[in-house]
Amino acid sequence: MVVDKKILYSGIQPTGIMTIGNYIGAVSNWAKMQDEYNCIFGLADLHAITVRQDPIEYRKRATSFFAQILACGLNVEKSIVYFQSHVHQHTELQWILNCYAYVGEMQRMTQFKDKSAKHEENINMGLLDYPVLMAADILLYRADLVPVGIDQKQHIEITRDIACRFNSIYGDTFTVPDGYFPTLGAKINGLQTPTAKMGKSDADPDNAVSIIDEPDVIMRKFRKAVTDCDRKVKFDLSEKPGISNLLTIMSALTGTPICELENDFANADYKTFKEAVGSVVVESFKPVRENYARYISDKSHLQQIASLGAERASYEAEKTLTKVKRRIGLVDKARRTIVAVEK
């Protein structure tokens, strides 16, 4: 990594589909930051198994997700891109950090409460311990910045708390990270439920738009998008959540301020406006669809990219883990000397 650049870390779960919301809120920012920061991007496949996954389908989705991330413009020569499960230091550091995180803190986490309510039949320790693994993800790489959505702010705060707690006991060990919160597009809502975030694993196929959806599928979803009875294209989150969501999507992808879009469509009916937004999405993601088709057609090459990313990530992670082990008093592992035996 370049010495004079700050380190940026971010992760995303390879579940469901990668939505345009994921792209606008996170992945598009990743690509833009590669020149400014030392970037490390992880597919958080261990985080995703707190919910039961079908092994065959999960492996297939994770592979597809990796190809999609690369298709969005991540440069593996500039950035480290890898699968979390390929780097054993994540779970090693998680165990150590468990000893510096408190049960009460974990039980108060909003995500734990929400997921426990949704999965009452499977309230496992992974759900409770999820924030500690996330802290390990971030702290392993000495990250200065972590680009996250608004709903992840609490996880950054607990990561900072754990890092400061450890540092106060053992001295300067971890870099205490700051969150980076995009001002536009940080939260893209569903097309059918415009008051709730567009999710990768939404049960309603018309609620989320994948970055690799075919053009006709994208247009159909936007034509069916929920709006209101007012017939006025105006940004108003409380009274017009559907229209506001569509304006946010269009603004984020075109770079046009929302106020200008309101003027441009002042005399347009909702049908015209929704089709215009759909057309912008189709054109914006045309290069992504083409790149994805190229990556996913060569699984062997994808595996090589993932393997190289894991090697680079592990090299950086081991630096931190070794330092942590020494600080807490674990015995150093001696290097093995191979002795040749004459026959």
Q: Which of 197, 221, 240, 274 is catalytic?
A: 197
Give the span between the Cα atoms of 143 and 159, in whole angstroms. Answer: 11
In the block, which residue shows the tokens 């990668």? 18
Q: Report which DSSP code applies to 25.
A: I
Q: In the chain, what's the furthest Cα-to-Cα distance?
A: 90
The angle formed by the CA atoms of residues 155, 161 and 165, to the nearest 5 degrees, is 150
Q: Which residues contact 22 (CB under 8 A, 6 or more apart)?
A: 12, 200, 211
pLDDT of residue 25: 82
Task: Name the active-site residue from 60, 113, 115, 118.
Answer: 115
Q: Decide: 21 and 201 in contact? Cβ < 8 Å.
A: no
Cβ count near 125 (within 10 Å): 9
Q: Which amino acid is at 69?
A: I
Rounded Cα gap, residues 190 and 19, in angstroms = 10
Q: What is the C-alpha to C-alpha distance for residues 343 and 341, in angstroms, rounded to an integer? A: 6
Boundaries of CATH 1.10.240.10 in the chain? 215-284
- Which token pair is 209? 């738009």
Cα–Cα dist 195/237, whole Å? 8
CA–CA distance from 231 to each of 263, 266, 267, 270, 272 (Å)? 14, 10, 10, 6, 11
Are the C-beta atoms of residues 291 and 71 closer than 8 Å to each other? yes
**87 three-state secondary structure:** coil
| Fold annotation for 7-185+298-328 | Rossmann fold (3.40.50)
CA-based end-to-end distance of the chain: 45
224 catalytic residue (yes or no)? no
> Per CATH, the architecture of 215-284 is what?
Orthogonal Bundle (1.10)
Asked if 343 is an active-site residue, the reply is no
Q: 6, 60, 153, 200: which is the annotated catalytic residue?
A: 200
Distance CA 250, CA 260 (A): 11
Torsion, Cα of 53, 57, 63, 68 (10° steps): -90
Measured distance CA(83)–CA(89) in Å, rounded: 12
- For 91, what's the count of Cα atoms within 13 Å in the CB-facing half-sphere? 11
Q: 319: which strand partners? A: none
Crossing angle of helices 125-140 and 89-98, rounded to 10°: 110
Q: What is the full per-residue pLDDT of the chain (343 aa) written as tens digits? A: 777 899 999 998 998 789 999 899 888 888 888 999 999 999 999 999 988 899 999 999 999 999 999 999 999 999 999 999 999 999 999 999 999 999 989 888 877 777 777 777 888 888 889 999 999 999 999 999 998 766 678 889 999 999 999 999 999 999 999 988 755 455 799 999 999 989 877 788 999 999 999 999 999 999 999 999 988 999 999 999 999 999 999 999 999 999 999 999 999 999 999 999 999 999 999 999 999 999 999 999 999 999 999 999 999 999 999 999 999 999 988 776 655 555 4
CA separation for the pair 149, 187 (Å, rounded): 7
Q: For residue 306, how far is the Cα from the chain centroid?
A: 17
Q: How big is the CA angle at 213 (ends 77 and 46), to the nearest 5 degrees?
A: 55
Annotation says 274 is catalytic: no
Residues 235, 237, 242, 244: what is their CA dihedral angle, to the nearest 10 degrees?
A: 30
Write out the residue limits of the CATH 3.40.50.620 domain(s) in the chain.
7-185+298-328
Tokens 């017939």 appear where?
231
Q: How remote is the C-alpha of 249 from its chain's centroid?
A: 18
pTM, 2 dp: 0.87
